[in-house]
Structure 1
Amino acid sequence: MRREPTEPERRVWNELRNSGFFGHKFRRQATIGNRIADFFCPGKGLIVEIDGDTHDRDADLKRDAMVECQTGFRTIRFTNREVMHNIDGVLSALKSALNEKPDRWGGGG
């Protein structure tokens, strides 16, 4: 997936890379426990997932809750459709999620 991201993942990554999203550093395809997150902001402990049609929402939400309990990392999810048809809304929601989370290391994001 790292070499061949989906089009929605590519679009989101274009906004996030090079600390270009309000100065926040993101990693792509980050390993967190036994899962690989689409994107991860280590400074805020925020996981960003872009979900296709094959995702089981209930199972994903249970897994997200378990990861948050174990690590303190919150997961925010967007569908491929949301990214493709409303990237501005996705980015606005992501910015809000980042603003809600405190900096993990006491510095600015």
Structure 2
Amino acid sequence: WDDRTSVVIPEEGETFYLVALLRSALDSGDVAQTLEFLSAQNEEILRFCEDRAIPAKQYLPSYADTAEWKRHFGDKWDRFVRRKAAFDPKAILSPGQRIFRPGSTLLSDS
């Protein structure tokens, strides 16, 4: 792996497994097929892993706040913040990802 990348990769020598849950929400009247139900089920799976200290990453993640993104990037977080400050200091790129907010103190502290 290239250490310069900000992509989250396994630690050296670790084995990793990809488990992909590719499901479609349906408007069929069945509650178990709704987006809300499937999203809650995904969150339950992630909580299960976290509660048992099973390392897990979401791809493509949809985290709600900076703290969740920080946990996602782990030891690469500081580098990620420095790059964001250097290449997008006004935080105008990817505002929908909820990683950085315009005027964020994270960027001004870098």
Same fold by TM-score greater than 0.5: no
Looking at secondary structure, tell me which structure has more strand per residue: 1
**Larger RCO (CA within 8 A; separation ≥ 6):** 1
- The structure having more radius of gyration, on CA atoms, is 2
TM-score normalized by the length of structure 1: 0.30
TM-score normalized by the length of structure 2: 0.30
